Amino acid sequence: MTDGPSQPAVERWGAPLNTATTAVLVMHGIGQGADDMRALTRRVADHRAAYFAPISPSGSWYPGALTDDLDANRPELDDALLAVEAALTKITRSGFAPARTVLLGFSQGASVLAHHIVASPALTYAGAVLLAGGYLGPAGTRPPVEGRWDGRPVLVSVAEADPHVPMRRVEETADALWLRGADVELQVCAGDAHAIHDEQVVATRQLLARVRGDIAA
């Protein structure tokens, strides 16, 4: 008998749980870990958020490309989606309902979160930030459009010539969330760097401030 894959650790930092206004699930990209996500949240500088970050022991969430057949990225993709569920469970048990939870991912982390969102139409979050990623599957894959986001903010952002993320898939991801009623901002940054750009950091900070205002209203 062999053991199944161990569940990734979920690291937490940011505002104390009893004073935080929002929880942010932070999903790292390929070749990254907790330090990279901590660096991102320092750039965002929202001190009212509590951050929860699942960390892949291998530094990646799936082995192939964003637009590979789903089976080519399994079982790692399934394990990554389970890691999202585990982090969300920890967030809920820490006192944050989905309506107070923002999903934030970069690269593979953004793609896993996008895939979680489009595959889980019953769940609505306070907002989402998808940087350099989109839902997974080959060209022509169409996600379901069920579920309502009721004007919740979503930032979908990528460099115009990102070598790892087809612009078409980014647009399809934005469209899928728009069809669910999300208030989607599709942001295209100049250049070809698969990286987190300064304008993306600013837009993320603005989205978190908007979510905080919506919660307080």
pLDDT in tens, 24-55: 999 999 999 999 999 999 999 999 999 999 99
Confidence at residue 6, expressed as pLDDT on a 0 to 100 scale: 61
User: Residue 171 and residue 6: Cα distance in Å, rounded?
Assistant: 34
Q: pLDDT-based confidence at 1, cuts 50/70/90?
A: very low
Q: How far apart are CA 41 and CA 18, in angstroms?
A: 19
- Per-residue pLDDT averaged across 140-157, rounded? 90
Copy the structure tokens of residue 166.
């087809």
What integer pLDDT is reported at residue 211 of this predicted model?
97
pLDDT at 207 over 80: yes
Helices (H), 94-191: 108-119, 167-179
Q: Is residue 147 in a domain?
A: yes
- Asked if residue 22 lies in contact with residue 212, where contact means CB atoms within 8 angstroms, the answer is yes
Res 100: pLDDT: 97
Inform me whether the pLDDT recorded for 85 exceeds 90.
Answer: yes
Asked if residue 135 is part of any domain, the answer here is yes
Which helix (H) or strand (E) segment holds residue 27: the answer is strand 22-27
Question: Does the residue 13 lie in any domain?
Answer: yes
Domain count of the chain?
A: 1
Q: Is residue 66 part of a domain?
A: yes
Single-letter code of the amino acid located at 51: Y
Burial class (CB in 10 A: 0-12, 13-18, 19+), 150: exposed
User: Which CATH number goes with the domain that contains 39?
Assistant: 3.40.50.1820
In this structure, is residue 1 part of a structural domain?
Answer: no
In a domain, 3, yes or no: no
Does 104 map to a domain? yes
For residue 58, being part of any structural domain is answered with: yes
Q: Find the mean pLDDT for residues 89-116.
A: 97
Q: Domain residues for 21? A: 9-216
